[in-house]
Amino acid sequence: MEADSTKDTPTQTAADVTEGMGKTVGRGGFLLAASSIGARGLSFLVQIVLGYLLAKEDFGVFAIALSVATFAQLLRDGGVQQVLIQRGEKDYDELRGPAFWLAMTFNLIAGVAIVAATPIIVRLYGEKVSHLTWIIAAWIPFSTPACLYRTRFLMLIQMDRVAQMQIGVAFIRAASVLSLALLGFGAYSFVIPYLITTVFETAFGYHYTREIPWAHGFGVRLWRTLFSTTRWLMLSTLASGLNLQGAYLVLGYFLSSDLVGVFFFGYQLATQFTILVAWNFFSALFPVLSRLTGQPERRHAALMRSIRAVMFVCAPVSLALVAVIAPLEALIWGGKWAASVPCVIALGVLIPFRGALFVSFADLQAQGRFRLYGLIELTHALGLMSVAGAASYFWGTAESVSWAVGLFLGAAGLGLTVALSRRGGGRLSDILASIGGSWLVSVVIAAICLAVDRFLLQDSSSLVRVGVESAIFAALSWITMRTLLKRDAMDLVRAVPRRIGRLLAIALRLEFEPISPAPVAQQIAGAESPR
């Protein structure tokens, strides 16, 4: 068996294995990022339609309801997903039953806690917000099986299944949201689809795994062992939820629902793409890095490549939106959401640094440093909420809040990514180059586009402005990807699946040099069992 598995590659060097693991991360990250791009594109189209169908108050009420429910994130799933991935296959059969029932128990408690908080919610935010939180409360325990199925796909590094599930959810959610909005459900159009998409996720997971996680016993004796690790993951889950939704909780207290809706609309446009791509790179990187415990050099190499890939993808997209958002809003919504334009600009310039930080968090979790991860995320969330609260209290506009939040996200993302990468043994110059190269280039190109728009195109139609600025951004990005960012481009070309890599190489006019096609599992075995 050993001879057969290695006869095509009798000798495996450290570089070969690192290259193979890098490709695993790249392929997994690419598949999930590609599905995220598709989902985000669909979500953007849905948001265009919802911008016509729904009022600003509907967006604001939904944002506040999400932020209120965030406190239940402390209990959501009991943190079992990360523990199962980190423990790996060796403990899966023993832990899958107890993990499911522990997650279900915490999810039921979370749902009950939201319902119990109804009097407080009504007093602070109004009855309509409480109705939305009831639906979220019902959805949390209902989503437990879907969480376990997604965890199983990630453990097996079956990123194609995760990507398929994600695209399916995106289409079903889009159809559900639009149908409900057309039927006059208002803000309820955002939350009812959670229940619908969860049915699909559960059915999809069972179809491809044929596992029934709730049929493997409660295993109460193992709950204490699991909880000793998951308590920090629960804290980090709460913190992650507050980082995504906590600002709305504060804004809902100081600002009107309309202003919260303006900020929410701009925030979703500016940040959703980066957060989705970065989170999916996190999902792909975490199980791979978990296999490299005790091998810091290889782990750090995969980490740096992933940071470069996230910035190479996210920075141009975020800054391109910054460059064209003003005429794009006028073209699509005719000025209805003009107040959200400064929000998109303020947040879009710096949000890519938050994406890079997600990759560093994958490294922390792969090392089992859940306590440190949870404390960093909680501190970040409290800082974000404090900044949002101060801006809304002193200035009271969506634009001022956006600039405050954008500056905080950028500074914290850059600083923490550098600090965590340095802890892993990286050189400061290499880390800054990985983080800042694509971003700096994209900022300069966006500035050129904004200058052209201001001084040459102000009297042109919105369609012409969008077309010209998009063409300029695309042309300059293509040139810099072949010159200043050629190394980053080649890393991406080599990392993604071969057919996609060949197409990217043709588009960028780069030499296509695929790495060795040896199976990744074989490369891992060769690395972990040196002969």
Report how far residue 156's alpha carbon sits from residue 298's, in angstroms, rounded to the nearest whole number: 20
Has residue 224 been placed in a domain? Answer: yes
405 and 524: one domain?
A: yes
Q: Diameter of the chain by CA atoms?
A: 73
Inter-residue contact 370 to 88 (CB < 8 Å): no
111 and 216: one domain?
A: yes
72 CB-near residues (< 8 Å, 6+ apart): 110, 111, 113, 114, 136, 137, 140
Last residue within a domain, chosen from 228, 254, 280: 254
194 and 332: one domain?
A: no
Q: Which residue in 107, 207, 214 sits closest to 161, CA to CA?
A: 207
Distance linking the first and last C-alpha atoms of the chain: 15
Q: Which residue in 368, 362, 406 sits closest to 270, CA to CA?
A: 406
pLDDT at 519: 36
141 and 220: one domain?
A: yes
* pLDDT tens series, the chain, 531 aa: 333 433 444 344 444 444 444 454 455 555 666 666 677 677 778 888 888 888 888 888 888 887 777 666 666 766 677 777 767 677 777 778 888 888 888 889 888 988 898 888 888 888 888 889 899 889 988 988 988 888 888 777 777 788 888 888 889 999 999 999 999 998 899 899 999 999 999 999 999 888 887 877 777 767 776 766 666 667 777 777 788 777 888 888 888 888 988 998 999 888 877 877 777 677 666 666 766 666 777 777 777 888 888 888 889 999 999 999 999 999 989 898 999 999 999 999 999 998 888 888 888 877 777 788 888 988 999 999 999 999 999 998 999 999 999 999 999 999 999 998 887 667 788 888 888 889 999 999 999 999 999 999 988 999 999 999 999 999 999 999 888 888 888 877 776 667 767 777 788 787 766 544 433 333 333 333 333
Last residue within a domain, chosen from 235, 254, 273: 254
Structure-token pair, residue 90:
């060796």
If you compute the radius of gyration of the chain from its CA atoms, what whole number of angstroms results? 23
Last residue within a domain, chosen from 202, 234, 254: 254
Provide the domain count of the chain. 2
Has residue 307 been placed in a domain? Answer: yes
For 328-377, the DSSP string reads: HHHHHHTTTTGGGHHHHHHHHTTHHHHHHHHHHHHHHHHTT-HHHHHHHH
pLDDT at 113: 87
Report how far residue 421's alpha carbon sits from residue 502's, in angstroms, rounded to the nearest whole number: 31
163 and 297: one domain?
A: no
Has residue 8 been placed in a domain? Answer: no
Report how far residue 402's alpha carbon sits from residue 391's, in angstroms, rounded to the nearest whole number: 9
Has residue 73 been placed in a domain? Answer: yes
281 and 192: one domain?
A: no
- pLDDT tens figures, 253-306: 888 888 988 998 999 888 877 877 777 677 666 666 766 666 777 777 777 888
By CB atoms closer than 10 A (0-12, 13-18, 19+), residue 502 is middle
* Whole-model pTM over 0.85: no
By CB atoms closer than 10 A (0-12, 13-18, 19+), residue 475 is exposed
3-state secondary structure string, 74-112? HCHHHHHHHHHHHHCHHHHHHHHHHHHHHHHHHHHHHHH
CA angle (511, 24, 207) in 5-degree steps: 125
158 and 140: one domain?
A: yes
166 and 300: one domain?
A: no
- pLDDT tens figures, 304-354: 888 888 888 889 999 999 999 999 999 989 898 999 999 999 999 999 998
pLDDT at 37: 66
Has residue 9 been placed in a domain? Answer: no
182 and 277: one domain?
A: no
pLDDT at 31: 61
466 and 517: one domain?
A: yes
Q: For residue 161, what are the domain limits?
A: 55-254
pLDDT at 495: 65
